[in-house]
């Protein structure tokens, strides 16, 4: 089972997209583009809230 983590090297804001890219072997820029596309379709707020929650959860797990 792959463990989700924040990337320490491939990060723009918090490293969430970079970590997803490293886990699944996908270019993190493609994940960022998909994130922006979905954010625009859903009027940004739901996806921004999801990103912030993921950041806080992974920040807590990474500190342990």
What are 13-27's pLDDT values in tens digits? 777 888 888 888 889
The pTM (predicted TM-score) of the whole model is: 0.63
Please report which confidence band the pLDDT of residue 30 belongs to, taking 50, 70 and 90 as the band edges. Answer: very high
b vs e for 11-34, b when ≥16 Cβ sit within 10 Å of the residue's Cβ? eeebbbbbbbbbeeeeebeebbee
Categorize the per-residue pLDDT at 50 as very low, low, confident or very high, splitting at 50, 70 and 90. Answer: confident
Helical spans, DSSP H, in the chain: 16-24, 28-41, 45-62
């Amino acid at each position: 089972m792959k463990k989700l983590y924040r990337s320490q090297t491939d990060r723009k804001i918090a490293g969430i997209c970079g970590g997803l890219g490293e886990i699944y072997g996908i270019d993190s820029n493609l994940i960022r583009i998909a994130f922006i596309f979905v954010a625009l379709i859903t009027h940004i707020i739901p996806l921004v809230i999801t990103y912030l929650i993921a950041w806080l959860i992974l920040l807590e797990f990474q500190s342990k």
